[in-house]
Chain A
Amino acid sequence: MTGLLFENIRIFDPATGQVAPGRLLVRDGLIVGRDSAGAEGKPEDVDIIDGDGGILSPGLVDMRVAIGEPGFEYRETIASCARAAAAGGVTTIAVLPNSRPAIDEPSLVRLLRTRGDETGIVSILPYGALTKGCDGEEMAEIAMLREAGAVAFTDGNRAIADTKRMRLLLSYAHGVDAMVVQHPEDPSLARGGCASAGALATRLGLPQIPAAAEAILIARDIRLAEMTGARLHFGHVSTAEGLELIRHAKARGLKITCDTAPPYFALNEQEITDFRTYAKLSPPLRSETDRVAVCAALADGTIDAVASDHTPWDADDKRLPFAQAAAGGTGLATLLSVTLERVHAGDIPLERALHLLTDGPARLLGLSGDRLATGASADLCLFDPDLVWTVTSGQLPGRAQNTPFDGRLLRGAVIGTWKNGARVFERSPS
């Protein structure tokens, strides 16, 4: 098999956290070497990939993706999700268990992993259901699911409401060294709501969810994690108050981590003016104060990863009055570009942004650390940090088109994606 030599590039190495010019050689799907910029000579039997000054990083790891398969294939299939992932430079996705059936059987975990490998485009790391059917009641077979390859445990987009049950789940998960991922929203406060409480939701007459619903559950679960010693991760954190609680918990040495998603640092609640259902998300978009706090938490280390929170819906699920429309937006294809907005805005350095998209989530999911080391799988993302493009619903890769970023001009685009050394995405010249 012909090798690949990437040159005229800057390489982001998660191991050092640095971006530096260099060349990278791939053979048989594996990374076989790197040298510094200016090195000359061409090894035998390689194709040259001229990066045109772009940045090469390990393939992005997206730790929060919902897919339609099994059970909701009309929204998204594994194949269409893989196309969206490749276009976003994502080579590994952790998939939420809220499918039909829920991922609460070891065979389903193995099936998903296999189906991901069969695409040749993306690795699927399944989350195991924390409770059977993700219904918040009976504990799932956590140890068996973990044995089958579940990377962590969660009920996905549903919080564990009952405090005693959450304590037991954390305690049991701790016993098998499994991470628990919580959707941080007090279900009783959120029930029936669809927009962040405040002036805008009041004016629009929409059922409201107080922002404190997030902090209340985070505060409860931090205390439970402390009681049990468990590893607890909060998904898509979106409020200043919630982040402050996590910041304090980390400072106390607790095993608390969190991620956020691009809508929570790129958009605020004003997006729902005019009842725009593509901006209906869960948790709902927040105030500008919260958005700014999320940006600060990206920079100061409170947030450990940026995940797309990719939630595909069919157009008919969104063509409804706001409160009745489905919550969630696609995010795979826009994950890197929207995150780079924060780099261009000066909120975070490029290296920090790339850490949050590669090494940060990889470590949380237990993937091996140095993904550019000799012998590592050549899962790579090449992007131009300055290439401008417009997000257009209807033209995104994959089946689902419900992007909250529709019409947004973004600076930074994926040029190419490689999975095990094979090119799985190439940007069309515009």
Chain B
Amino acid sequence: MADAAASHGRHLLGLAGMTAAEITPFLDLAASYALLSRSRTAPRDALRGRTLINLFFEDSTRTRTSFELAGKRLGADVINMTVATSSVNKGETLLDTAATLNAMRCDLLVVRHAQSGAPALLSRKVEACVVNAGDGMHEHPTQALLDALTIRRHAGKLDGLTVAICGDVGHSRVARSNIHLLTAMGSKVRVIGPPTLVSGAIASLGNVEVFHSMEDGLRDVDVVMTLRLQRERMGAGLVPSAREFFRFYGLDRRRLALAKPDALVMHPGPMNRGVEIASDVADSVQSVIQEQVEMGVAVRMAVLDRLSRLRVPA
């Protein structure tokens, strides 16, 4: 069963509990938008008259720009609101923000927040469709959808593939959403990292195998996803140094060679070259990192389009 938090009908708050039948229409529509975007013929009327607000409580140029482009390509009026968390600390609560947005009569609300569950809280208080653009360590559903679309374009399927997610899995909302999506679509998922970053509890998210050795975990996989290692993990005593992390858990040519010869290399960005991924791997022919960015716009177009159809105008 889907999390209550993830299944408020007209919202996309997470992928936990979603089935292949629920996920596939997003991917199919996104695939068609990917083609239309390339041909510069995206329909500019699907969201005409709709207002999209990008409400970002955390810095994120990449995701915010992607949603902004997606909205504009579908004809929406797009407003970017970057809310400094300090203003929240001064007394502006999330629910004050919700009341303000309701008064503005926006249709689509894209939310990024440092706290898990913040978009879910907002979704219960606003009339707009809410899209989770990343909340704390919880989920980042559109990132997982764009990753899945990228994989599907190359492999032709998701069912039966083996995908390794490497690095700071424990703190990663990208990893969680990917685990939910990939296992729902029939992929086998391996997570690889030191025990401080990859706990056994991750295995409870679904059919997930936990590895603490890149050499063991990468063997014969179809896809290698590397995750950004936040600098603060070193200060928190989870990892002794960036140098040691790269030495044992970085994706370099030698380790990539353990995967299948045509294995895809992915990264949600922004990359720490020389920490979680070697530059020559990031720039290799097996890397689809730039394509992920392109698919991001297509996926977000699909999400905004599908959700806006579910919303009954006030």
Interface residues of A (CB under 8 A from B): 197-199, 201-208, 273-275, 316, 319-324
B101 at the interface (CB under 8 A from A): no
Cα of A319 to Cα of B136 in the assembled complex, Å = 17
Query: Given contacts A198-B204, A199-B204, A273-B5, is CB(A206)–CB(B116) below 8 Å?
Result: yes
The interface residues of chain B lying within 8 Å CB-to-CB of A205 are 116, 135-139, 173, 176
The interface residues of chain B lying within 8 Å CB-to-CB of A203 are 3, 16, 176, 204-205
B281 at the interface (CB under 8 A from A): no
B265 at the interface (CB under 8 A from A): no
The interface residues of chain B lying within 8 Å CB-to-CB of A206 are 116-117, 136-138
The interface residues of chain A lying within 8 Å CB-to-CB of B205 are 199, 202-203
The interface residues of chain A lying within 8 Å CB-to-CB of B121 are 275, 319-321
Cα of A206 to Cα of B204 in the assembled complex, Å = 15
B4 at the interface (CB under 8 A from A): yes
A202 touches B4 (CB 8 A): no
B83 to chain A: closest CB distance in Å? 13
Extra 17 A-B pairs, beta carbons < 8 Å, given A203-B3, A273-B5, A319-B93:
A197-B201, A198-B204, A202-B199, A202-B205, A203-B176, A203-B204, A204-B116, A204-B138, A205-B135, A206-B117, A206-B137, A206-B138, A273-B3, A274-B3, A274-B4, A275-B117, A321-B94
The interface residues of chain A lying within 8 Å CB-to-CB of B5 are 204, 273-275
The interface residues of chain B lying within 8 Å CB-to-CB of A322 are 115-117
Cα of A323 to Cα of B176 in the assembled complex, Å = 18
B193 to chain A: closest CB distance in Å? 14
B163 at the interface (CB under 8 A from A): no
Cα of A44 to Cα of B285 in the assembled complex, Å = 101
The interface residues of chain A lying within 8 Å CB-to-CB of B113 are 321
A121 to chain B: closest CB distance in Å? 34
Query: Given contacts A202-B199, A204-B138, A273-B4, is CB(A321)–CB(B204) below 8 Å?
Result: no
Pairs A–B under 8 Å by Cβ, sample size 23: A197-B201, A199-B205, A202-B176, A202-B201, A202-B202, A202-B204, A203-B3, A203-B16, A203-B205, A204-B5, A205-B139, A205-B176, A206-B136, A206-B137, A206-B138, A274-B4, A275-B117, A319-B94, A320-B93, A322-B115, A322-B117, A323-B116, A324-B115
Interface residues of B (CB under 8 A from A): 3-5, 16, 93-95, 113, 115-118, 120-121, 135-139, 173, 176, 199, 201-202, 204-205
The interface residues of chain B lying within 8 Å CB-to-CB of A320 are 93-94, 121
Closest to B199 in A: A202
B202 to chain A: closest CB distance in Å? 6
B15 to chain A: closest CB distance in Å? 11
Closest to A195 in B: B116
Cα of A206 to Cα of B201 in the assembled complex, Å = 12
| A202, A204, A321, A322 pick with most chain B CB within 10 angstroms | A321
The interface residues of chain A lying within 8 Å CB-to-CB of B120 are 274-275
A186 to chain B: closest CB distance in Å? 16
B118 touches A321 (CB 8 A): yes
Q: Which 3 A-B pairs have the closest CB atoms?
A: A205-B138, A275-B117, A321-B115
A108 to chain B: closest CB distance in Å? 30
B117 touches A204 (CB 8 A): yes
A201 to chain B: closest CB distance in Å? 8
The interface residues of chain B lying within 8 Å CB-to-CB of A197 are 201
Closest to A316 in B: B93
Cα of A198 to Cα of B113 in the assembled complex, Å = 23
B117 touches A321 (CB 8 A): yes
Closest to B175 in A: A205
| A204, A205, A316 pick with most chain B CB within 10 angstroms | A205
Closest to A197 in B: B201
Closest to A192 in B: B236
